[in-house]
Structure 1
Amino acid sequence: MSDAKKGPLREFLASQIFVGSSGKILSHIGNMAQGFLRARRQKRAMTTISPKNTTHLDSVAVTAGDRRKPNLALVGTIAVIFLATANCKQTDPNEIGKKILHMPLRSKVSSLDPVRGGTSYSSLAQSVVYEALFEYDYLARPLRLIPRLLEAMPSVDPSKTIYEFTLKKGINFQDDPCFPNGKGREITSNDVFFSMKRMADRANSPKGWWIYNDRIVGFDEFRAKQDERPVGAPFNFDEPVEGFEIIDDYRFRIHLKQPFPQFTYILAMQYTAIVSREAVEYYKEEFDSHPVGTGPFRLVKWIRGSKLIFEKNPTFREEFYPSPPPSALGNVDPSLYQAAGKRIPFLDGIVMYVYEQDQPMWLKFRAKDLDYSQVPAEYFDSIYCPNGNLRSQLSADGIQNYNLELIDFIYRGFNMEDPIWGGFGNGKLLRQAVSLATDINEINDAFYNNTCVVYDGPIPPGLDGYKKGILSPYRGPQIDKAKALLVKAGYPNGKGLPPLVFETSRGGNSQEQGDMLARQLKAIGVELLPNYNSFPELDRKLKRKKAQFFSLAWGTDYPDAENNLALFYGPNEAPGSNNFNYKNPAYDALYEKIRTMDPSAERTAIYEKMRDMVIEDVPAYGSMARIRYYVWNSRLKNMFPEETWYGWHKYLDVEVEP
């Protein structure tokens, strides 16, 4: 934006601040800001970079090395919005005198059934009601697995294939009409195995069978037998599984086919949360929206696509905020231990609001209607100074922040079963060409403020098998090389090549990212047709193998690269976690070898070989790992966010609503 345009814009905004109610102000100013930001992003997305590596932003030419300098007009605009919205909080009369956390979900929740969730948003919503056997120590970094529903970590026999567990006593399901007299009962070993068996029932449309596939003695055979039952016959949960051994109500053993060092990590995943048979049979098809768990909260109301309301579970067991370890606290802020030893949860309830667009989420946060938020990328320069500190207006409002380095795998992927783009012949050449035409650094700069780590392959920073630097010969932009591969594939300059349909999620800056990718691929003659979906819609297409080309982010489930490498294991094809439907026998053989190995130099070397296979075959490319920027208002306490697991919301506290 030229200097001549700055003054009128600011004068106009200032004149609008004091007009109408606070709600109208938020909407009016928010719409103006969103239009301004969208126009800015669209111009960047559609602007072709010149040979001198110069682009044009807001009619001002800047070199690529200067792009992160904040646009002063934008900063001034957003600062005015902040000033206009910082004191517009609206309190629900029903919440007065209570501690209610207000938080955002950046996409719709697809299901509240643990075996059907399959997305981070569903897992987050489920995590306040349902609990798995394990969790992570809230204040330990690096992450440390600890028992949640268990007395202690399991004992493991010398063969590393038999795990023995002991449940804590006195852990009850929440009170619910599904139980006799509405009184929740104590969980038992049977509940653990019932919950696991539900993953084998295809009628549940389970998203996580891959976590058990070919791991537990007799479990695959159990699933196959149930698949063969007569049409209309019920799933037999009472059929025994050879590898499931009940000792008594509190003790049980699981027998693995072979060692699997990550097994306890698996049992911390939301897929494995414990449910009651009574609730499943009572609610039947409605169980998806009637969660009955052992966790600190219970569902009050779910308005799909809008919000979820939870209240404190009055029968939740005695559990306490963690105390500091005997050793030094390390990099953990000592203030996080101010609640040490106090009974949790502190909150009376939680309200989760769905925001598929970032602008209304951010405005609600600035109006203090949300207690915390993730920072939308388009607002980054207006929130942070060039040195990374919060801008003074935000600090003066008591806002605090935390930057979370995600174990993250953002990618663009192909359906390897597609007749044109799949396979290992011409389809491989086409995939390599698309990778070569894509400028991931430009995408990182335009939409992530250069805060992502760009890397090659499926193993993100922080895990064994990751290597810094350019590893892929197909890292773009290399336009001439890309065009040469199109010729070799029989499509010179893209002639005769049908459009590439790009499935991605709706919201945020997805449209602008689609526009930029379309412009980049147009340079080699490939036409991109973006299709924007809600997250559940995108997930359904992936699970049904209906997505030709797609973009997604995989948050690593546990801190081991085996989890990411499993995404390309053939037997995990859709509806499993292998959305690419990648089937490479040599890769699969290596995966079957490493899945039983403990950490070692030998295992790391195999990880690297598998990483390079994915780089060469290009079922996915353009890897990035994000930093998630969290900010929260002063009424929120004990905030130490993490995205490997979501059960930490039980430790949060807020000031009572006045």
Structure 2
Amino acid sequence: MSHPSLLALTTSLMLLLSAAMPAVAADAPAPAAAPKTLRYAFRVAETAFDPAQITDLYSRTVSANIFEAPLAFAWMARPVKLRPATAAAMPEVSADFKTITIRIQPGIYFADDPAFKGQRRELTAADYVYAIKRHYDPRWKSGNLYLLENAKILGLSELRKELMAAKKPFDYDREVEGLRALDRYTLQFRFGEPQPRFLYLLADGSFTGAMAREVVELYDDKIGAHPVGTGPFKLTQWVRSSKMVLERNPGYREVYYDEQPPAERPDLQAAAKAFKGRRLPMVDRIEVSIIEENQPRWLSFLNGGHDMLDELPPEFATIAIPNNKLAPNLAKHGIHMERYPRADVSVSYFGMEHPVVGGYTPDKVALRRAIALAVDVEREIQLVRRGQAVPAQSHVGPNTWGYDAAFKSEMGEFSRARARALLDMHGYIDRDGDGWRDLPDGTPLLLEYASQPDQQNRQLNEQWKKNMDAIGIRIEFKLAKWPEQLKASRAGKLMMWGVGWSATVPDADAFLELGYGPNKGQANHARFDLPDYNRLHQQQRVLPDGDERRALIDEQKKLMVAYMPYKVHVHRIFTDMTHPWVKGYHRNIFVRDFWKYVDVDMDEMKKRTAK
């Protein structure tokens, strides 16, 4: 936590800036008349833009606006609803959920690229076959392969294993039963077991978006820097970990704004009426910066340097949204806020293969449970997250089928007395008199927690230090940039790490995958591998939604609480903000490709920022 005097100074500065906002805006340079541009900042750096390699939210957001999957989540549907994107209609799904057939619209084209040698390149069903096969190619080390392998697409996992055993390159030309282009525009999936929710995976362009083989073969290992899709935008500039610029894809087909919001949402009704019939996308250019520290990101938005603020930094919540209402001085200047719970969990994981905190024996389980019990989540919420979160009771996040707000467990309990008792009972005592607990064999007990060098993580680390000091456990922090920690985590090299996990689909399975053994190094960063959990996971995922599936999900939650491979801290509540010249922005947590639905009124921007 920052020094109290520094906090007071920062708060005074924010209040002063907010009160003086018209003068600040007046001093800003007038924006260029054209092109129509949406500007904002990510708080974490991207990695690259290859759907076969992406595992982070920020790279996914960019890629989802470049690549297109066959389906999409409707922008204004509440509750969420799937609709065709490049598909000509909704897929045909067999009664046993083992076959899905999709007809792709003719006349859709990839953005122009040198790989096409001056010819327009039409999207075909074979492009989806190729793009999905790339996840099975060991060369690309797909972090999302588990989603496809768990679906049991007939023949693909077997092909991967055969070629890996023979040490041969992946054979993209070998046809498999489970993934075929039946003709130029017809794509078919066949599964070894029922897949009632597989269609959700076909609504994420950053994962199952179509790719042209000739583009991948031209750029080879640099494909992550050369994304070429059929979507509304194309990448025109990329300064790694600094700035991304995307421009309207001039070859994007004719798609028009046509949304059907629910009757109980008059704000969505008004936007749908105002934009109906507009051709998408409505802006010409997107500029995304990377600003990792919260204060400069907040100030850039206040000063008009950015048009929207994606995720209000928690430390400014009391200034910007006191009592979770937009501050009057911000409302006076037409700023719009959108506050919402994401399908999200914020967790600290324990490396289950690590000799200190891993393992399934009673003493190791007791250590993890004691550490989790000692974490004062309410204090974390108030001091670090400024009230913008709620305590979590399981690893399943809200806004998904299978989440139960009434579910209570030890995951949400804070008891240092119980923590100390567990440690004492299992031999984690101070054996050398230095004031710190040791391992049962007498060697020092030292936790190493991976983190990032930004202000919020520094504050979270301070809370961890206080929590562990209170029960006599030493803890040190291993700092590195987020992409570096991600790489180390996937390789199983971290003892502990604190991260957020957001669902891409409105189903609990997105969170249940965190504990499934075969997902080690992918979704399962803790590398938890418990046969009982794995069995339950296999059973529930082939069932349609209903009471039987819900009961199995509850059992999975309980096992995760009992073995504690993850300490789930909170479900975060987010607030986005936009200046009044940004029109049509409404958060749908499952729609990453929202840029095409947003407009920027350049005349209003000039009027409000002119001297």
TM-score normalised by length of structure 1: 0.86
Taking the aligned partners of 2:335 and 2:457, their CA distance within structure 1 comes to: 28
Task: Quote the residue 1:336 is aligned against.
Answer: 271
Task: Quote the residue 1:501 is aligned against.
Answer: 448
Taking the aligned partners of 1:252 and 1:135, their CA distance within structure 2 comes to: 16
Per-residue deviation at 1:138?
Answer: 0.5
Task: Quote the residue 1:452 is aligned against.
Answer: 389
Partners of 2:349 and 2:526 within 8 A in 1: yes
Per-residue deviation at 1:81?
Answer: 6.6
Taking the aligned partners of 1:454 and 1:331, their CA distance within structure 2 comes to: 31
Taking the aligned partners of 1:81 and 1:442, their CA distance within structure 2 comes to: 33
Of the structure 1 ranges 455-464 and 644-653, higher mean CA displacement relative to structure 2 is found in 455-464
Partners of 2:374 and 2:468 within 8 A in 1: yes
Q: In structure 2, do the counterparts of structure 1 residues 544 and 406 end up closer, same or farther at CA, with 3 Å as the change threshold?
A: same
Taking the aligned partners of 1:147 and 1:522, their CA distance within structure 2 comes to: 54
Taking the aligned partners of 1:124 and 1:315, their CA distance within structure 2 comes to: 21
Per-residue deviation at 1:260?
Answer: 1.2
Task: Quote the residue 2:100 is aligned against.
Answer: 163
Taking the aligned partners of 1:151 and 1:465, their CA distance within structure 2 comes to: 31
Partners of 2:349 and 2:566 within 8 A in 1: yes
Per-residue deviation at 1:134?
Answer: 1.4
Task: Quote the residue 2:535 is aligned against.
Answer: 589
**Cα deviation digits, residues 371-407 of structure 1 (max 9, x gap):** 1002111111111233x32112111211111112211
Partners of 1:497 and 1:526 within 8 A in 2: no
Task: Quote the residue 1:321 is aligned against.
Answer: 257
Q: In structure 2, do the counterparts of structure 1 residues 142 and 497 end up closer, same or farther at CA, with 3 Å as the change threshold?
A: farther
Taking the aligned partners of 1:122 and 1:98, their CA distance within structure 2 comes to: 24
Q: In structure 2, do the counterparts of structure 1 residues 174 and 474 end up closer, same or farther at CA, with 3 Å as the change threshold?
A: closer
Q: How does 1:64-103 map to 2 (within 5 A)?
A: 76-77=15-16, 79-80=18-19, 82=21, 85-91=24-30, 95-103=32-40
Taking the aligned partners of 1:152 and 1:294, their CA distance within structure 2 comes to: 18
Partners of 2:388 and 2:574 within 8 A in 1: no
Taking the aligned partners of 1:79 and 1:40, their CA distance within structure 2 comes to: 21
Task: Quote the residue 2:590 is aligned against.
Answer: 644
Q: In structure 2, do the counterparts of structure 1 residues 405 and 244 end up closer, same or farther at CA, with 3 Å as the change threshold?
A: same
Per-residue deviation at 1:75?
Answer: 6.5
Taking the aligned partners of 2:411 and 2:218, their CA distance within structure 1 comes to: 54
Matched residue of 1:590: which SS?
helix
Q: In structure 2, do the counterparts of structure 1 residues 299 and 442 end up closer, same or farther at CA, with 3 Å as the change threshold?
A: same
Matched residue of 2:568: which SS?
strand
AA in 2 matched with 1:420: V
Q: How does 1:175-574 map to 2 (within 5 A)?
A: 175-181=112-118, 183-214=119-150, 215-230=152-167, 233-269=168-204, 270-324=206-260, 328=263, 330=265, 332-337=267-272, 338-373=274-309, 374-386=311-323, 388-425=324-361, 426-468=363-405, 471-473=408-410, 475-493=412-430, 494-495=437-438, 496-574=443-521
Taking the aligned partners of 1:652 and 1:137, their CA distance within structure 2 comes to: 14
Taking the aligned partners of 1:562 and 1:185, their CA distance within structure 2 comes to: 36
Indicate which of 550, 554, 557 corresponds to 1:608: 554
**Cα deviation digits, residues 167-226 of structure 1 (max 9, x gap):** 011110001101022x33111111011000100111112111011114211111011123
AA in 2 matched with 1:640: H
Taking the aligned partners of 1:120 and 1:567, their CA distance within structure 2 comes to: 16
Taking the aligned partners of 2:123 and 2:239, their CA distance within structure 1 comes to: 29
Indicate which of 28, 52, 56 corresponds to 1:115: 52
AA in 2 matched with 1:117: I
Taking the aligned partners of 1:643 and 1:328, their CA distance within structure 2 comes to: 20
Partners of 1:299 and 1:310 within 8 A in 2: yes
Matched residue of 1:247: which SS?
strand
Matched residue of 1:236: which SS?
coil
Task: Quote the residue 1:128 is aligned against.
Answer: 65
Matched residue of 1:104: which SS?
strand
AA in 2 matched with 1:185: R
Q: In structure 2, do the counterparts of structure 1 residues 318 and 585 end up closer, same or farther at CA, with 3 Å as the change threshold?
A: same
Q: In structure 2, do the counterparts of structure 1 residues 404 and 114 end up closer, same or farther at CA, with 3 Å as the change threshold?
A: same
Matched residue of 1:501: which SS?
strand
TM-score normalised by length of structure 2: 0.92
**Aligned-pair RMSD on alpha carbons?**
2.2
Q: In structure 2, do the counterparts of structure 1 residues 225 and 565 end up closer, same or farther at CA, with 3 Å as the change threshold?
A: same
Taking the aligned partners of 1:411 and 1:391, their CA distance within structure 2 comes to: 30
AA in 2 matched with 1:644: F
Per-residue deviation at 1:469?
Answer: 5.8
Matched residue of 1:545: which SS?
coil
Count of matched residue positions in the alignment of Structure 1 and Structure 2: 589
Taking the aligned partners of 1:594 and 1:331, their CA distance within structure 2 comes to: 38
Matched residue of 1:509: which SS?
helix
Taking the aligned partners of 1:317 and 1:226, their CA distance within structure 2 comes to: 39
Taking the aligned partners of 2:11 and 2:179, their CA distance within structure 1 comes to: 63
Task: Quote the residue 1:28 is aligned against.
Answer: none
Taking the aligned partners of 1:616 and 1:319, their CA distance within structure 2 comes to: 50
**Cα deviation digits, residues 385-442 of structure 1 (max 9, x gap):** 33x3211211121111111221111111111111121111122111011011110111
AA in 2 matched with 1:631: M
Taking the aligned partners of 2:389 and 2:54, their CA distance within structure 1 comes to: 27
Structure 1, unaligned stretches of length 5 or more? 1-36, 44-57, 60-70
**Cα deviation digits, residues 555-610 of structure 1 (max 9, x gap):** 01211112211111101111x11111001101100110011000111111111111
Indicate which of 624, 633, 639 corresponds to 2:570: 624
Q: In structure 2, do the counterparts of structure 1 residues 648 and 424 end up closer, same or farther at CA, with 3 Å as the change threshold?
A: same
Partners of 1:371 and 1:636 within 8 A in 2: yes
**Cα deviation digits, residues 347-378 of structure 1 (max 9, x gap):** 11111111111111111111111110021111
Task: Quote the residue 1:635 is aligned against.
Answer: 581
Taking the aligned partners of 1:331 and 1:455, their CA distance within structure 2 comes to: 31
Taking the aligned partners of 1:588 and 1:85, their CA distance within structure 2 comes to: 56
Per-residue deviation at 1:288?
Answer: 0.9
Per-residue deviation at 1:465?
Answer: 3.9
Structure 2, unaligned stretches of length 5 or more? 431-436, 607-611
Per-residue deviation at 1:320?
Answer: 0.7
Taking the aligned partners of 2:355 and 2:490, their CA distance within structure 1 comes to: 18
Taking the aligned partners of 2:473 and 2:131, their CA distance within structure 1 comes to: 47
Q: In structure 2, do the counterparts of structure 1 residues 572 and 72 end up closer, same or farther at CA, with 3 Å as the change threshold?
A: closer
Task: Quote the residue 1:52 is aligned against.
Answer: none
Matched residue of 1:98: which SS?
coil
Taking the aligned partners of 1:470 and 1:595, their CA distance within structure 2 comes to: 20
Tell me if 1:147 matches 2:84.
Answer: yes
Taking the aligned partners of 2:594 and 2:18, their CA distance within structure 1 comes to: 32
Taking the aligned partners of 2:191 and 2:71, their CA distance within structure 1 comes to: 18
Matched residue of 2:409: which SS?
coil
Partners of 2:245 and 2:288 within 8 A in 1: yes
AA in 2 matched with 1:616: A
Task: Quote the residue 1:39 is aligned against.
Answer: 3
Per-residue deviation at 1:121?
Answer: 0.4
Per-residue deviation at 1:329?
Answer: 5.5
Matched residue of 1:322: which SS?
coil
Matched residue of 2:282: which SS?
coil
Matched residue of 2:562: which SS?
helix
Taking the aligned partners of 1:601 and 1:366, their CA distance within structure 2 comes to: 48
Q: In structure 2, do the counterparts of structure 1 residues 81 and 551 end up closer, same or farther at CA, with 3 Å as the change threshold?
A: farther
Partners of 2:348 and 2:566 within 8 A in 1: yes
Taking the aligned partners of 2:266 and 2:213, their CA distance within structure 1 comes to: 43
Per-residue deviation at 1:78?
Answer: 5.2
